[in-house]
């Protein structure tokens, strides 16, 4: 962030429970249930040239995430879409990152939360590439995370729930403290799962392999890139992948709304090349989000 102000001290507007409020006035109470018990869900999406990519898919997932945590949102997909568009326009941005977030309020304190009210806010700001472009061009370096993705019978893993990202922060900090850019996370079985905020793909002999998302998010960007690959006639195999297989893969890349398509040079002891297939999909994704290609 450098010398930029913190996220609580900026000019601009945030959509908050139905109205646009000055950025610095978008506040919640310290006894908000979400702060104590992680009853919060969120989305992350990008606008390119004034158009928010896959907006309705993100809004639908936000509603689904909240339902999985037991607090259905009173805002429809169309209303959430409109809130995002209004926030983007109010801040006079055309290329931006948007963060819708929904949470339980402060009407009740304790594990039980039936009396709390759902809240919704949308913020947006200029955010360039998730990883430094010069670094990402060569491929980022991943550590192997000390924390694992939980089993779906221990947490609502289909929800983009704030609480599930605690182990992501721990894993990313652990990696950065050791000189890596991010971490590759395994799941509770020891199978390859994802990075701390992006899905993972591998390439071998012209075929793409990616873990089956049975305990982590089936990302919107993930599905988009799979579609782009198949449009080109590239075979995509979704399956169980064990860490020992990584030495047999030639290329690796990450996908996510923030990360877009990011090349990987290494994951733990395994090294990869930034190959043409990965570069082609990165170009295809860039063309799609910028309106130069049909989805």
Q: Are 163 and 38 in contact (CB under 8 A)?
A: yes
113: part of which helix (H) or strand (E)?
A: none
Is 160 marked active-site? yes
Long-range contacts: 113-117, Cβ < 8 Å, 24+?
A: 113/33, 113/37, 113/39, 113/70, 113/71, 116/33, 116/39, 116/71
Displacement of CA 263 from its chain's centroid (Å): 16
Q: Quick one: tokens of 115? A: 């009396």
Helix extents (H) in 21-101: 33-37, 55-68, 77-90
Give Cβ neighbours of residue 279 (< 8 Å, ≥ 6 apart).
263
Q: Please tell me the distance from the alpha carbon of residue 91 to that of residue 69, in angstroms, as a whole number.
A: 31
Give Cβ neighbours of residue 168 (< 8 Å, ≥ 6 apart).
185, 196, 197
Task: Give me the catalytic one of 54, 117, 138, 160.
Answer: 160
DSSP 145: P
Residues serving a catalytic function are 160
């Amino acid at each position: 962030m450098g010398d930029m102000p913190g996220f609580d001290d900026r000019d601009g507007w945030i959509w908050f429970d139905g109205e646009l409020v000055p950025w610095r006035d978008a506040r919640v109470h310290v006894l908000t249930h979400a702060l104590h018990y992680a009853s919060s869900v969120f989305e992350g999406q990008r606008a390119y040239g004034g158009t928010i990519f896959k907006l309705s898919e993100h809004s639908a997932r936000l509603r689904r995430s909240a339902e999985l945590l037991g607090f259905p949102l009173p805002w429809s997909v169309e209303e959430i879409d409109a809130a995002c568009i209004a926030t983007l326009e109010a801040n006079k941005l055309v290329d931006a990152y948007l963060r819708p977030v929904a949470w339980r309020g402060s009407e009740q304190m304790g594990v039980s939360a039936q009396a709390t009210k759902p809240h919704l806010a949308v913020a947006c700001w200029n955010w360039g590439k998730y990883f430094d472009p010069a670094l990402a061009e060569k491929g980022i370096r991943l550590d192997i995370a000390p924390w694992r993705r939980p089993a779906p019978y221990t947490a609502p893993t289909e929800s983009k729930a704030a609480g599930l990202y605690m182990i992501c922060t721990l894993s990313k900090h652990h990696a950065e403290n050791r000189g890596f850019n991010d971490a590759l996370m395994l799941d509770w079985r020891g199978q390859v799962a994802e990075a701390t905020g992006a899905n993972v793909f591998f390439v071998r002999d012209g075929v793409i392999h990616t873990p089956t998302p049975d305990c982590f998010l089936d990302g919107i960007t993930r599905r988009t890139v799979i579609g782009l690959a198949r449009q080109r006639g590239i075979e995509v195999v979704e399956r169980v992948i064990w860490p020992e297989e990584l030495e047999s893969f030639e290329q690796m890349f990450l996908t996510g709304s923030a990360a877009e398509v990011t090349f990987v040079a290494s994951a733990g002891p395994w090294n990869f090349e930034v190959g043409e297939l990965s570069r082609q999909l990165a170009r295809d994704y860039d063309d799609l989000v910028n309106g130069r290609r049909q989805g």
